[in-house]
Amino acid sequence: MVGVHAVRSGMIRIRPSLRAGDMSLPVWRRRLAILLDGDWTQPLPIYAYLIEHDEGLLLLDTGECARSTRPGWFPSWNPFFRLVVDIRVEPQDEIGSQLRSRGIDPREDLKHVVLSHLHHDHADGLSDFQGADIIVSDENYRASRGFRGAALGAVPSRWPSWFSPHRVTLTGPPVSSFEATFPLTADGSVFAVPTPGHMPGHLSVVVRAEEVTYFLTGDATYDESLLKQRVVDGAAGNVGASLDTLDRIAAFARDEPTVLLPAHDPLAEQRLQDRIILTDT
């Protein structure tokens, strides 16, 4: 048995130029445009994904926490957190609370907790997972530490004192358009693939079910329409790597029926429910 469930840990508004940047500009110009943008997107979901498998439960990302809406949570010197994101998370929205409401102990009942990357809205929920096997790519962990990490949108100062994740390098066998993987189940039906660009060392998780494959993208793309248009987010440090990632995901979906599940796509939950596959790529 293999299944995927979307778990929404609140909502977030972002600047439109963060969701989709001008790829002709250098990275500093694109990031400046985000800070100067006066508009907001509609409220977007903050999804984590719970994976049911015969070998146990897995979770991709830990979402945002309610404490992030309070003054002082984010570093005051970084204007990104004041000007670019508008977070709406209540205590009952947090991933730990939602798992417990399903009868799942986040510290004991998960085979793996996989972090696509350590940006705040994917890792601020870590405090509920002490004792769990937490997996992150070694490259992303290194990029997310200290001043550099806080400048890139992580909040390492808020990581729990016990946080010492299983840092992995994706050296497993190639699958379709991806030259390396990291197996997450012994039967090979759930595995991580490298999807860099949005952040160094970003990874996504692939779940092969009986009739369709679920591709949990994290922030490799903000939504399916942007992937089809080959449009990269405004904060991406490497447009070339991001475009290559989008192309690899599209090529993967041409090889097998694939349901695309980004972390902030308002239509992701409906696609998951109806098993709507990615086409026209």
Contact 104, 186 (CB under 8 A): no
Is the pLDDT assigned to residue 103 strictly greater than 90?
A: yes
User: From residue 207, how far is each of 6, 134, 191, 194 by CA, in Å?
Assistant: 13, 18, 7, 14
pLDDT in tens, 3-61: 999 999 999 999 999 999 999 999 999 999 999 999 999 999 999 999 999 999 999 99
280 band by pLDDT with thresholds 50, 70 and 90: confident
Tell me the C-alpha distance between 66 and 70, whole Å: 8
Q: What is the mean pLDDT of the chain?
A: 96
Contact 138, 201 (CB under 8 A): yes
pLDDT in tens, 48-83: 999 999 999 999 999 999 999 999 999 999 999 999
The pTM for the full model equals 0.96
CB atoms within 10 A of CB 211: 8
pLDDT, position 20: 96
- The stretch 159-173 carries a mean pLDDT of 97
175 band by pLDDT with thresholds 50, 70 and 90: very high
pLDDT, position 71: 92
Percentage of the chain exceeding pLDDT 90:
98
1 band by pLDDT with thresholds 50, 70 and 90: confident
pLDDT in tens, 105-142: 999 999 999 999 999 999 999 999 999 999 999 999 99
Contact 98, 10 (CB under 8 A): no
User: What would the 3-class secondary structure string for 202-258 be?
Assistant: CEEEEEECCCCEEEEEECCCCCHHHHHHCCCCCCCCCHHHHHHHHHHHHHHHHHCCE
Percentage of the chain exceeding pLDDT 70:
100
Domains and CATH numbers, the chain: 2-274 (3.60.15.10)
Phi and psi at residue 78, to the nearest 5°: -100, 110
CB atoms within 10 A of CB 89: 23
Tell me the C-alpha distance between 176 and 254, whole Å: 10
Quickly count helices (H) and strands (E) in the chain.
Answer: 10, 12
Tell me the C-alpha distance between 226 and 20, whole Å: 8
pLDDT, position 124: 97
